[in-house]
Structure 1
Amino acid sequence: MALRRPAGLLVAPLVAVLLGSVPTIPAPLAEPVPRPWPAGGPSSAEAIEALSIVTPVPGTLGTDPSRAAIGRRLFTDTRLSRGGDRACITCHDITTNGASAAARDLATDGTPVPRNTPTVFNAALSFRLGWAGDILSLRDQDEKALTEPEFLGGSWPRILAVIRADPALAGPFRAAYGREVDREAVIDAISQFERSLLTPDSRFDRWLRGDAHAITESERAGYDLFRGIGCAACHQGVNVGANLFEKVGIFVAIPNKSGEVLRVPSLRNVAVTAPYFDDGSVATLPEAVRMMARAQLGREMTPAQVAAIVAFLGTLTGSYDGRPLTAPEAPAAPGEGRRP
């Protein structure tokens, strides 16, 4: 406004288009909102068309349960951080939306990190990680999170010493990996847990699977509009995005961002992951939709059209541990990062 497929097949042609020369004056979007889908669930042909754009979130990626259970404990263990005062869950709150309500969370020195924290939910479905898409895998991300000052700022000697001295961790590591805990096992355990952080069973996914009553007529119209004006060119696949790169500000310049190339974010659970954009500068989903339509598609949308797409995006909220994701509490003050 990440599907495990060979990235080059999709990224190369779209990036070529997105980085090309384009007009800079947005065109008004014609009324009315496009026709809704027929009453009830999609027909066979419609289902095939819909599933070629968005596919449901899987219930599992085949993680090792014993290793993922260790990873869950490490995800919440503040002892692994430099100051012993933060853990992965400090900024990636898996009891709410997998991120936080802060525009930018705080580094170990108390300063805001450079970019807004993405949700950890469904990250395993992304073809790259981070706003710049420069992190190639969950394993790379986990090592950065554990050791870089921007995140936990821990050190491997300390991390391993803490785990080896705790029988409740050292024993399960030996049982799960057949050896004493080491750096590779720690990274793998956390990655295994993060691969389990999926949010299936969104209302839209239920509709894709044939539940005629999972979404409303207006939400279907919003999906039709989402496809019709071009949002789905970049936001598609199992993660409704997160599988290609895009130039920022194609039609209209965005202050301090135009010309930058970022990984297209996933729209899964987007209704509960405010604030938006890599700097967390937009507080509401309607404003984010309006800005993306103008800057990336050259479209001026009416309030009714914005509302239609927002209604559709609301159907993408899935569930974790049997409960729908929710938005976290807002920070104490505007712009203040989340503190451990």
Structure 2
Amino acid sequence: MAPPRLARSLAAALGAGLVGSALAILPPRAQEQPAGGPRPADAVEAMDVITPVPSSLGADPDRAALGRMLFTDTRLSRRGDRACITCHDIRSNGASAVARNLTTDGTPVPRNTPTAFNAALSFRLGWAGDIPSLHEQAELALTRPEFLGGSWPRILDTVRGDPVLAPLFQAAYGRAADQESVIDAINSFERTLLTPDSRFDRWLRGDVHAITEAERAGYDLFRGIGCAACHQGVNVGGNLFEKVGIFVAIPNKAAEVLRVPSLRNVAVTAPYFDDGGVATLPEAVRLMARAQLGRELTPSQTAAIVAFLGTLTGSYAGRPLTAPNAPGAAPQP
């Protein structure tokens, strides 16, 4: 059941037409205890809307290590020229800098590539929310022509014939690599792709100095105008469906129902929207306010919300996420 304050927010949003016919499926609240002393009263209130990213989902370390190797292994693809990391660059933002990546045949994929970071925290995957779980997502990524385009016979021959991978699979699973264990290894690694320790999460846990007054004002505005009716929970989104263009149609976009995207790390995951058609975060914020909330934001309001969204950037392997090709986007160890 949703927390009382969140339930009231959603009910109010439904009554105002902000959520339309969305199906709200909310994740469990984070179970972590606060660190650094008692939370401010306003942070306790905020916890009804956004919860911190956990530091772990309990993935088996040996299986996750295997999954990391597979995530970067181009031999699993049809032409041996791409891997999961080709489009989901975990050295920077978990996605890529282009509006749409290319298929194995060199044509653009239908939608912008979402970040792999925190995907394990979303209730469904893909822009349309048509992928039920990480298991199905890995299967599609490995075999569909628009992604890696691999085949299971070749994938298994590659893994079983590798002098490093084969014994590691035997040790981790007690059997030779098979389709289920390959998928499970990749999923185990994906469950480690979490970005805790954003400044906003530190504030939620009680660090009153983690965000500025301006960023706090942006968060108040984010809640006050209705953004938090859809962008809430541990992933600040990713847990319900929403119609695109409730108040105003978005140019060149159909009025379809999509999964509400997560706003975690949104400041470093441009370009935006399912077609990658919006280049900057201020432009995305203005367009969403107009289309989904029926509001025209002033420049100062837009800047305030963008400032808040910047506090949602977390860290992976001890390093804050960065935009692709940005300074500091060095390969992870």
List aligned pairs for 1:96-135, cutoff 5 A: 96-135=92-131
Deviation (angstroms), 1:321: 0.2
Partner residue, 2:20: 19
Q: Distance in 1 between matches of 2:205 and 2:131?
A: 33
Partner residue, 2:57: 61
Name which of 64, 71, 75 aligns with 1:75.
71
Partner residue, 1:294: 290
1:302-321 CA-partner distances (Å, limit 9, x unpaired)? 00000000000000000000
Deviation (angstroms), 1:19: 3.1
Partner residue, 2:33: none
Partners of 2:265 and 2:310 within 8 A in 1: yes
Partners of 1:200 and 1:319 within 8 A in 2: yes
How has the CA–CA distance of structure 1 residues 54 and 278 changed in structure 2, closer, same or farther, with 3 Å as cutoff? same
Partner residue, 1:172: 168
Partner residue, 2:155: 159
Partner residue, 2:303: 307
C-alpha RMSD over aligned residues:
2.0
Partner residue, 2:24: none
Q: Secondary structure at the match of 2:258?
A: strand
TM-score by length of 2: 0.88
The AA in structure 2 aligned to 1:49 is: E
1:258-283 CA-partner distances (Å, limit 9, x unpaired)? 42000000000000000000000000
- Structure 2 unaligned blocks of 5 or more: 22-36, 327-333
Check if 1:233 corresponds to 2:229.
yes
How has the CA–CA distance of structure 1 residues 42 and 244 changed in structure 2, closer, same or farther, with 3 Å as cutoff? farther
Deviation (angstroms), 1:212: 1.4
Partners of 2:39 and 2:204 within 8 A in 1: no
Partner residue, 2:267: 271
Q: Secondary structure at the match of 2:164?
A: helix
Partner residue, 2:257: 261
Count of residue pairs brought into register by the alignment: 303
Q: Distance in 2 between matches of 1:42 and 1:111?
A: 53
Q: Distance in 2 between matches of 1:85 and 1:258?
A: 34
- Structure 1 unaligned blocks of 5 or more: 21-40, 331-340
Where does structure 1 differ by over 4 angstroms across 4 or more consecutive aligned residues? Answer: 12-17, 41-44
Q: Secondary structure at the match of 2:274?
A: coil
Name which of 81, 87, 93 aligns with 1:85.
81
Q: Secondary structure at the match of 1:175?
A: helix
Q: Distance in 2 between matches of 1:161 and 1:236?
A: 43
Higher mean C-alpha displacement, 209-218 vs 67-76: 209-218
Q: Secondary structure at the match of 1:300?
A: coil
Name which of 169, 194, 202 aligns with 2:198.
202
Partners of 1:247 and 1:258 within 8 A in 2: no
Partners of 2:43 and 2:203 within 8 A in 1: no
1:136-181 CA-partner distances (Å, limit 9, x unpaired)? 0001000000000010000000000001110100000000000111
Q: Distance in 2 between matches of 1:45 and 1:285?
A: 30
Higher mean C-alpha displacement, 43-52 vs 159-168: 43-52
Partners of 2:40 and 2:206 within 8 A in 1: no
Q: Distance in 2 between matches of 1:169 and 1:130?
A: 29
Partners of 1:251 and 1:298 within 8 A in 2: yes
The AA in structure 1 aligned to 2:292 is: Q
Q: Distance in 2 between matches of 1:207 and 1:19?
A: 32
Deviation (angstroms), 1:257: 2.5
Partners of 2:39 and 2:207 within 8 A in 1: no
**Larger relative CO (CA 8 A, sep 6+): 1 or 2?**
1
Deviation (angstroms), 1:15: 7.5
The AA in structure 1 aligned to 2:187 is: S
Q: Secondary structure at the match of 2:55?
A: coil
